[in-house]
């Protein structure tokens, strides 16, 4: 497995990581714990050293799973987690309520350390920017945690460029995690140039468009009410029908390269910058192997130009989130 450094930091990780959310949260009911532990350990065996979770996934279940699965590999892998949502008293996640007050951050970190079974969190992200708490206070709280030896690196998720600059001035940011793929290219306008200027790594989540770019989803696909894609405008039958043009494009390139559409989508991301580390999620071993195979797919400058040109001719239909969740991004 190739390695990459996240920006100017000393955090070196596998060229692709593993997003763990879907094992416990958002994509239907939580999966079998023992099966997911086996999958996480299989990822380590295959050279993946970067794992992504969050307090809100479950809530808490996903951190507990990752902590248990990766306990034998302390010091060999990097675990990223996130704070910033208010956990509900009834055990449900409250995506709508943010809380990044410094005292809450420190409390959240104590819980994450216990669940992850670690003495220090390798990379701690603010999950979403909290408009009620100055970002300088958030960065200052994480700085204190870094000085206390409880956190190693600071990150933001779905933050806008001004917030990134303000936070970075207080505590250098190692990585930004935001959605980025061939069907969500907005970061290219402002975010990626800012990250390059400041020496910050980029960790794209949903590099396979929440499963769409694998080619396994079409307009006839139905989603259970426990699968959050059932609420996303981009996954309505009409939008899926229109967006199929992107799958056709990936499929034709995949054929030339003797690869799969998913591998082309990930290889395209890896080719954008040497400090980009995508974190595709999966609950299936054959998909894990397929995603890892993307690291070996070589796209030439001509390939990249052709893909970019063809993709720019396709207008993706449907917002990526319902309005309330979209308002939490880009602040």
* Cα three-residue angle 226-80-35, rounded to 5 degrees: 50
Cα Rg of the chain (Å, integer): 19
Determine the Cα–Cα distance for residues 273 and 84; give it in Å rounded to an integer: 28
Determine if residue 154 is left, alpha or beta; phi over 0 gives left, psi from -120 to 50 gives alpha, anything else beta.
beta
Q: Catalogue the active-site residues.
A: 57
Strand partners, 82: 125
In 3-state terms, what secondary structure has residue 153? coil
Q: Report yes or no: 272 and 250 within 8 Å, Cβ to Cβ.
A: no
Alpha helix segments (H runs only) across the chain? 33-45, 61-70, 102-116, 135-147, 161-170, 191-198, 237-257, 261-272, 285-293, 301-312, 323-326
């Amino acid at each position: 497995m190739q390695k990459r450094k996240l920006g100017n930091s000393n955090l070196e990780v596998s060229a692709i990581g593993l997003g763990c959310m879907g094992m416990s949260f958002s994509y239907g009911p939580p999966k079998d714990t023992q099966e997911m532990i086996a999958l996480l350990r299989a990822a380590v065996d295959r050279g993946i050293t970067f794992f992504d979770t969050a307090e809100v996934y479950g809530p808490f279940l996903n951190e507990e799973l990752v902590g248990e699965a990766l306990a034998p590999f302390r010091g060999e892998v990097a675990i990223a987690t996130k704070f910033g949502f208010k956990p509900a008293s009834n055990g449900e996640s409250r995506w709508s309520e943010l809380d990044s007050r410094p005292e809450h951050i420190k409390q959240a970190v104590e819980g994450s350390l216990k669940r992850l079974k670690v003495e220090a969190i390798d990379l701690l992200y603010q999950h979403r920017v909290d408009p009620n708490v100055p970002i300088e206070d958030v960065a200052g709280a994480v700085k204190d945690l870094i000085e206390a030896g409880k956190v190693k690196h600071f990150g933001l998720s779905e933050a806008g460029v001004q917030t990134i600059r303000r936070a970075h001035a207080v505590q250098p940011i190692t990585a930004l995690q935001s959605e980025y793929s061939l069907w969500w290219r907005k970061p290219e306008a402002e975010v990626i140039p800012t990250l390059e200027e400041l020496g910050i790594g980029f960790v794209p989540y949903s590099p396979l468009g929440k499963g769409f770019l694998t080619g396994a989803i079409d307009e006839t696909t139905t989603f259970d009410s426990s699968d959050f894609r059932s609420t996303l405008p981009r996954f309505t039958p009409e939008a899926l029908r229109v967006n199929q043009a992107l799958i056709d494009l990936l499929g034709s390139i995949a054929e030339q390269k003797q690869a799969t559409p998913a591998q082309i989508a990930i290889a395209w991301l890896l080719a954008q910058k040497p400090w980009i580390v995508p974190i595709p999620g999966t609950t299936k071993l054959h998909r894990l192997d397929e995603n890892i195979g993307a690291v070996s797919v070589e796209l030439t400058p001509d390939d990249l130009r052709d893909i970019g040109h063809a993709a720019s001719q396709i207008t993706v239909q449907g917002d990526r989130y319902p309005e309330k969740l979209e308002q939490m991004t880009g602040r």
